[in-house]
Homo-oligomer: A and B are copies of this chain.
Amino acid sequence: MIYIVFAHPYPSQSRANRTLLDAVRSLPGVEVCSLYDRYPDFDIDVTSEQAALGRARLIVWMHPIFWYSVPGLLKHWFDKVLTYGWAFGDGGSALHGKDCLWVATTGGSVETYSATGIHQRSFADFTRPVEETAVFCGMNWQSPCILHGANEIDKPALAAHALQLRRRLEVWLAIHGEGASEKAGHAP
């Protein structure tokens, strides 16, 4: 199973992230949790989230970049769901060996993320906290799928990027199969 944690604060106003989600949500074995829809009061159901992660073989974090990081509710989800003794630490092996794919969009173009750009650094300089969160939980960090310039991108280019993401998940499914979750054996 592929578990997509979708974190757009205003899903109905999203263009880029909504297009990406729509491109992959119909794939077999995909389960989506739209965080801001499901937990508008930030009261995350930790048991339910951990159960979904336990069933998953691939975990996708999909969201727009806010302040060089994940949106607040996804950060809160990290804090609440990835617990000691479950995701890390003594006996915390629930996520070991699962794959983790980061699908993110930035409003700014790739040029804004450079020494001479408005953000002063390459985008890679901002990614360590998210990457290490996955790695510390024993997950296999996949090469991230980052779309820059999401505010300005035209429809055909956005559709092409979304199709690329879909193809990537299709390949993953072809290798691992829809029933990959049952084979993983890492669920708690």
Contact = CB atoms under 8 A, between A and B. Distances in A.
A57 to B, nearest CB: 22
A187 B68 CA distance: 25
Interface of A: 9, 41-42, 66-73, 75-80, 82, 118-121, 125-126, 128-129, 132-133, 135-136
A71 B75 contact: yes
A82 B67 contact: yes
Contact of A78 (B66, B125, B128, B129): B66
Contacts of A69: 69, 75, 129
A168 to B, nearest CB: 25
Nearest to A65: B129
A25 to B, nearest CB: 25
Contacts of A66: 75, 78-79
A73 B76 contact: yes
A120 B135 contact: yes
B121 A132 contact: yes
Given A41-B42, A42-B41, A68 B132 contact: yes
Nearest to A43: B41
A68 B128 contact: yes
Given A72-B78, A135-B120, A129 B67 contact: yes
A79 B68 contact: no
Given A41-B42, A126-B129, A132-B121, A75 B82 contact: no
